[in-house]
Structure 1
C-alpha cells in the first residue's frame, strides 16, 4: 500500500538555545512511498534539481538508518520526494529529509521503532536534536543528546505567537557557519547563554511574550555568524522597534526568524526587513507563519 510522509521545516537555536531548542515551521518535505520489486528514488520539483536520483540520496540513506536500528533489511520501494523547504537556508531542510526518511523506513518495515527511537536515530545522525525534534513532534521542543539517549520536552506554542521568516536569496552551508565559531568561551559568555536559554524556555512555556526580546540575546553563535549574513546585526538590535517580539538567526542561517503577535499587523515588520535586505544589496522573501504543531505525519493511501 502506498503511503506519504510529510515532515516540516524547522528553525533551531532561537538565539541562546544553541543545538537544543527549536520549533516547527509549516513548509514541508513530502515522501510518497510505494512498495515494489525494485528500489527507485525520484526527486521532484525545482528545489531538488540536481539531488541524487539513486540509493545515495539522503532520504533513502535515512530510510536505511531506520532499518539498521531495527536490525532489518529495508524492502524495495519507489520513493518520490518533493519539498517546499529552501535548501541551505537555515530552515532544517536536511532535518526534514532525515526525519521524513527515517519515519518512511520505519513505516515500510511495519513500525518496529517507537517515536523516541526515531528521534534518537535522527539526533545521532544529525549530531544535535534541535532541528530533528520539532520536525518529528511539531511545536516548540527543548532537547538534549547524550550517551544515554535523546531527551526532550515538547511545548505547545503560546497563544497568539507567530513567526515571520526572512529568507535571503543566497545559501549558507552549516559547515561554513560552524567553522567561524570559537573553540572556547569565557565563563561570562557561558553563564549568559545558560541564563538566557533557561529564561527563553520558561517564557515560551508560560506564554510570557514580553520577555522574548530579552531572553533571545545570544553571545554563543550569532555574533560570530553575523559577518556571514549582511544585516543580521541590525535586525537583532532593532527588529523589536518595528513590531517583532524578538529576533534570531534561524539555525545556521542565512534566514532570520522574528516572533510576532498574531493579533497585530506585520506590515511594518515586513517593510523593515525588506529595507534591511535592500540596504545590504540582497533580495529574498518575507513570510508569516503560525507554528506547525503536527510534526511529521504519515498517511496511508488506498
Structure 2
C-alpha cells in the first residue's frame, strides 16, 4: 500500500494573482493499493467512478511514464472543503499523479508531477506549493514552469471559510479582459514587495503590499464579508486576501495569538468558521507500507 499526503493551498496570495500559492498544514490523505477492479472509498458515491479526479490523474501519470494503469483501491481521507479556494482539486491531482510512479515501483519526480498537474489544473499556482510546500512563485513560460519557493516558517495563518461555494469558472467570469498599464505596473511592484516582506518577517510591509487590483475588486462581490474584513485587517496590520477564487479568505501574522483573537472576533460578528493553520514546508509526502 502507498499513502500519499498533499497539503491544502491558498493561491493568489497578496498581489500574486495566478502566480503565488501557499501550502498549508491542512492535508488530504490518499491511499493506493492494487486491486482486481477500480474501487474508490472515502468520497461521495457520485465521485467514486471512472471520472474521479484522483483516478484520472493516476491514468495521466501512467500514460506520461509509459505504464499500463492497474485497477486500484483508492481511499480518500480529507476535510479540505470543495470549491472554497483551498486547492482541494490540486490535492487530488497531485496525489493521483504521484501514485502512477510509486505504484509501479519508481520514485515520482516532483518536477514531472508539477508539470503534469499544471496541465490538468490549467495553471501552476496551486499545484506548485502542493508539491513543494512553502510559498511558491511560479510563472509558465512557453515550455516550462519557472518556480521559486520562499520559506514561511516565521508566519501563522487563519483560514476564514464561509458557508458559500465559489466555482473557479464563475469567479473567472467577473474578471475584466484587459487592464491598464498603470495597474499592471502597480501590481508587479506590490508582488515584489509582498515577497520581500514575507522573507524579512516584516508584517507592516506585507500588509501594505497585500493590495490586489487584478481580481479582488471584482470577486469581492461574490464574498459578502470580504470588504469589511479587509478594512479591519488593514487597520490592524493583518494581511488578508481572497484564497484562490474564494470563498475562503486567508489572514497571516507573525503572532499566532493575534490570529486567535481575530478568529474569535470574526466568529462573533460574522458567524464565519475560522481554522488556525501554519504554512506547510513539506509539500507532497509519500509513504510505502
* TM-score category, normalised to shorter length: over 0.9
**SS of structure 2 residue aligned to 1:109:** coil
- Would you say the 8 A contact 2:201–2:254 is kept in 1? no
Aligned to 1:76: 71
What does 1:184-199 align with in structure 2 at a 5 Å threshold?
184-199=178-193
**SS of structure 1 residue aligned to 2:62:** helix
Structure 2 residue 28 is matched with structure 1 residue 29 = yes
- Would you say the 8 A contact 2:26–2:277 is kept in 1? no
Structure 2 residue 170 is matched with structure 1 residue 171 = no
Structure 2 residue 139 is matched with structure 1 residue 144 = yes
Residue 175 of structure 1 deviates from its aligned partner by: 0.7
User: In 1, distance between residues paired with 2:51 and 2:167?
Assistant: 20
Residue 220 of structure 1 deviates from its aligned partner by: 0.2
Aligned to 2:114: 119
Structure 2 vs 1, CA of residues 212 and 51 (structure 1 numbering), >3 Å: closer, same or farther? farther
Aligned to 1:291: 279
User: In 1, distance between residues paired with 2:108 and 2:285?
Assistant: 15
Aligned to 1:101: 96
User: In 1, distance between residues paired with 2:230 and 2:105?
Assistant: 46
Size of the alignment, in residue pairs?
A: 289
User: In 1, distance between residues paired with 2:268 and 2:257?
Assistant: 20
User: In 1, distance between residues paired with 2:288 and 2:133?
Assistant: 20
Deviations 1:8-33 (A, max 9, x none): 10000112101110111122211111
User: In 1, distance between residues paired with 2:272 and 2:88?
Assistant: 17
User: In 1, distance between residues paired with 2:141 and 2:159?
Assistant: 31
User: In 1, distance between residues paired with 2:131 and 2:167?
Assistant: 22
- Where does structure 1 lack aligned partners over 5 or more consecutive residues? 278-282
Structure 2 vs 1, CA of residues 99 and 186 (structure 1 numbering), >3 Å: closer, same or farther? same
- Would you say the 8 A contact 1:74–1:109 is kept in 2? no
- Would you say the 8 A contact 1:34–1:78 is kept in 2? yes
- Would you say the 8 A contact 2:9–2:23 is kept in 1? yes
Aligned to 2:246: 253
2:225 to 215, 219, 231: 231
Aligned to 2:216: 222
User: In 1, distance between residues paired with 2:242 and 2:268?
Assistant: 17
**SS of structure 2 residue aligned to 1:248:** strand
Aligned to 1:55: 50
RMSD (Å), alpha carbons: 1.7
Aligned to 2:196: 202
* TM-score between the two structures when normalised by the length of structure 1: 0.90
Deviations 1:138-187 (A, max 9, x none): 1111111222211211111142x100110011111111111100000011
**SS of structure 2 residue aligned to 1:292:** coil
Structure 2 vs 1, CA of residues 256 and 148 (structure 1 numbering), >3 Å: closer, same or farther? same
Structure 2 vs 1, CA of residues 71 and 112 (structure 1 numbering), >3 Å: closer, same or farther? farther
**SS of structure 2 residue aligned to 1:266:** helix
Residue 118 of structure 1 deviates from its aligned partner by: 0.9
User: In 2, distance between residues paired with 1:231 and 1:155?
Assistant: 30
Residue 197 of structure 1 deviates from its aligned partner by: 0.9
